[in-house]
Chain A
Amino acid sequence: MSTHNINTQKVNFKVFRFNADVDYLPYYEDYTMEVTSEEVVLDILNRIKWDLDGSFSYRRSCRHGICGACAIKLNGRATLACKENMNDMIKLFGNDITLEPLSIKRAVKDMIIDKADFWQKHDAVKPYLISDIDEYPEHEHLVSPKQAEELDDADLCIQCGACHYACPVVEINDEFFGPAAFAKAYRFEADVRDEAGTERLTEMHKEAQGVWDCVKCFECAEACPKDINPIGKITKLHLMLFDKGLATSTVASRHAVGFKNSIAKHGMLDEGTLVLYSEGPSIIKHIPVALQMFRKGKIVLPWNMPKSDNLDEIQKLVKSSSTAKF
């Protein structure tokens, strides 16, 4: 018989408090609690509200990881409160734990944030099947298991916003669609029944809002409680844009192609030429940075660019794995 011990330990919680109606500035409240090994983070939120301070506010609904309402930040880490076990959090962070909303600048009341930007971007990617559906079909529209796999779990998204508010580009670029909206766009682009053609993908290609502004930091993949890996979907959208010939020549798409060219030529990244290729004549604005990089040895003069070992093998790989023309 397996033995399962329930143990408790003391945890100090520092909790973000703010009521946009009455508070000029947010503040933090401290609570110390005995936490049992059986509790999830949502149990702590409930206990604060029910046992310690009724005015403490947060969103919650299903309490089993399917509604996406209770996403918060725990010690800065995006956390779906009903999913994460307190024991695991204590193992990660120790016994001092800070609870904050997903986005402090969007805080409305305690853990509750204004998710308007999230929903606007979600709506902007046409998050529905675009198809000329027969109103009186004679049989189902069959999707084979193999075709369904193409969605790559993008349909599991619960719209909790964890990835969106973990994304550093969303933080500084108001127009950027963000990882959740891209994952949703991919979910329909990858659906065999979808007939959107280029209308959705064209939006994905636009500068500032589109997929090219992703900085590939993988924060979204870390944040996602459903392991959807949004950045994987962003990469797939990149490839779709090339495959369908929609990737017109912009600084962003040239940047992507410049990587490939550099690897094909040297087997490694030639940062100087890459920027020249992406930016063209406007590279002139980067001269101060280039001089600094040169001084530190980060870039070299073109004739000094080293070549990777086994360059011929690398070139063969590049050739065999390139499907799209640019």
Chain B
Amino acid sequence: MVSEIDNIELRVATKEDAKNAQAEIDFILNNNGDETVTGLRDELQQCMTDNAGAFRTGESLEIAIAKVKELHKRFKNIRIKDKSKLFNTELQEAIEFGHMLDYSAFIVESAIARKESRGAHYREDFESRDDENFLKHTMAYMDDKGDIRLDYMAVKLGKHELKPRTY
């Protein structure tokens, strides 16, 4: 296990990455809209709890993805009060919220595609595990427009025997 860490390839950061990160901060500090991060975050939290918790259905997940997309748009219209460079925890919370939106989209899109139940992903419309179609890792990629493309990777078996959960 530990030795596998050495084989992980990490992408080398570019100047472009630094520019993107700086642009993200500049946007949050300077944008002059009328939404608050706290307000949007409350809506996201409530929506994800209601619709994308351990027990979810295709229907609830569609509600969730629509809400996440809506919040993504409204996030472009935020304003924070704290413009200071000193201990700016309001800026920090806004950056975190932007990332929460991205991860919420990853979670929901992956869950919509996985039409089975497995572990903490319990689809009430597909209650059993489907090894034939879904014994695979979900890989999700977001493009510049915020659209998510899904891909799958084979599970390396061998350590644990594959058997139905009967407890």
Contact = CB atoms under 8 A, between A and B. Distances in A.
B50 interface: no
Interface of B, secondary structure class, is loop
Interface in A169-220: none
B84 A109 contact: yes
A55 B86 contact: no
A53 B80 CA distance: 10
Contact of B87 (A49, A51, A54, A109): A109
A109 B89 CA distance: 11
Contacts of A51: 38
A21 B86 contact: yes
A315 interface: no
Contacts of A22: 84
Given A54-B36, A54-B38, A19 B80 contact: no
Interface in A1-39: 19-22
Contacts of A49: 89-90
A53 B86 contact: no
Contacts, number: 35
A57 interface: yes
Interface in B6-37: 36-37
Contact of B90 (A20, A21, A54, A108): A54
Contact of B86 (A19, A50, A54, A58): A19
A108 B86 contact: yes
B85 interface: yes
A20 B85 CA distance: 11
Contacts of B82: 54-55, 57
A71 interface: no
B37 to A, nearest CB: 8
A109 B38 contact: no
A102 to B, nearest CB: 15
Contact of B81 (A54, A58, A108): A54
11 contacts: A20-B86, A21-B85, A21-B86, A49-B90, A50-B38, A54-B80, A54-B81, A55-B81, A55-B82, A55-B90, A109-B84
Given A51-B38, A54-B37, A57-B82, 13 more contacts: A19-B86, A21-B84, A21-B86, A22-B84, A49-B90, A54-B36, A54-B80, A54-B81, A54-B90, A55-B82, A57-B88, A109-B87, A112-B87
